Amino acid sequence: MLKVSGLCCVREERVLFDNLSFSLASGEILQLAGPNGVGKTSLLRLVAGLSRPEHGSITWQERNISQVTDSYQRQCLYLGHHAGVKAELSAIENLHFYLGLAGEKVTSSELHGLLAKVGLAGLEDEPVAHLSAGQQRRVALARLWLVKRKLWILDEPFTAIDKQGVAYLEKVMLAHAQAGGMVLLTTHQELSLEPSLYRCLTITPAYEEQA
């Protein structure tokens, strides 16, 4: 169980949100919504253990994530706002690079199969810089299949992805949750999943702007 309690996030001396609490259990999908700049990306970075909250706590299996950072992060898959792929490397090389960081091994033929699955057959050896924004995002999303992680933290995963790709990705998220995984994501798009299959939490600014 992931539990966020009384979280406060400050950026450049500005309180973005305060006293934010929610939890996420196995089998759940939680969408974070809210206006541009409210702090959704900042929140995902906090949950991924990449930055520290001003106050409040984030616990994983009832331990503060700052005390179990390594074991916690080995159970998380964080896909940031930007594709996070190296432009000068090919799709295959990017996946090899990522696997190296994750300390896992997958054969080249499995990687080719995976890239075909995410719609990149024939583009495996192209430098990523030559791919479209959506294709670059697909290279990043291929990580979802590469490593087994319990908690997916996905920042705008649908950015630049076409309609069919979005539908497929929603299915993959659902299958992950139904297999006991957890998905925390931000997206400005409405999910087309049945409302009973996910929750949505709207973040509100700590201080609403005065009219």
Ligand X SMILES: Nc1ncnc2c1ncn2[C@@H]1O[C@H](COP(=O)(O)OP(=O)(O)OP(=O)(O)O)[C@@H](O)[C@H]1O
Interior/surface letters 59-78, b for 16+ CB within 10 angstroms, e for the rest: bbeeeebeebeeebbebbbb
Q: Number of helices and strands (H, E) in the chain?
A: 7, 9
Residues in binding contact with ligand X, number by CB under 6 A: 11
Output 80 or 127, the one with its CB closest to ligand X.
80
Q: Which of 42, 94, 135, 136 binds ligand X (CB under 6 A)?
A: 42
Q: Which of 40, 138, 143, 149 binds ligand X (CB under 6 A)?
A: 40
Q: In the bound complex, what is the minimum distance in angstroms from residue 103's beta carbon to ligand X? A: 28
Output 12 or 88, the one with its CB closest to ligand X.
12
Q: Which residues does 47 contact at the CB level (< 8 Å), separation at least 6? A: 2, 4, 58, 153, 184
Strands (E), 44-110: 55-60, 63-64, 76-79
Among positions 9-38, residues that touch ligand X (CB under 6 A) are 11-12, 16, 34, 36-38
Q: Which of 39, 49, 53, 157 binds ligand X (CB under 6 A)?
A: 39
The single-letter code of the amino acid at 157 is P
Q: In the bound complex, what is the minimum distance in angstroms from residue 41's beta carbon to ligand X? A: 3
Q: In the bound complex, what is the minimum distance in angstroms from residue 164's beta carbon to ligand X? A: 24
Q: Find out whether 169 and 161 touch, Cβ atoms under 8 Å.
A: yes
Among positions 73-112, residues that touch ligand X (CB under 6 A) are none
Q: Where would I find the H helices in 49-107?
A: 69-73, 91-102
Q: Which stretch binds ligand X (CB under 6 A): 40-48, 64-72, 112-120, 143-151?
A: 40-48
Q: Identify the CA nearest to 137 among candidates 91, 73, 201, 188.
A: 91
Q: Which residues pair with 183 in a beta bridge?
A: 29, 152
Q: In the bound complex, what is the minimum distance in angstroms from residue 89's beta carbon to ligand X? A: 25
Q: Find out whether 134 and 157 touch, Cβ atoms under 8 Å.
A: no
Q: Which of 5, 41, 57, 73 binds ligand X (CB under 6 A)?
A: 41
Output 76 or 120, the one with its CB closest to ligand X.
76
Q: Could you say whether residue 208 binds ligand X (CB under 6 A)?
A: no
Footprint on this chain of ligand X (rule: CB under 6 A): 11-12, 16, 34, 36-42
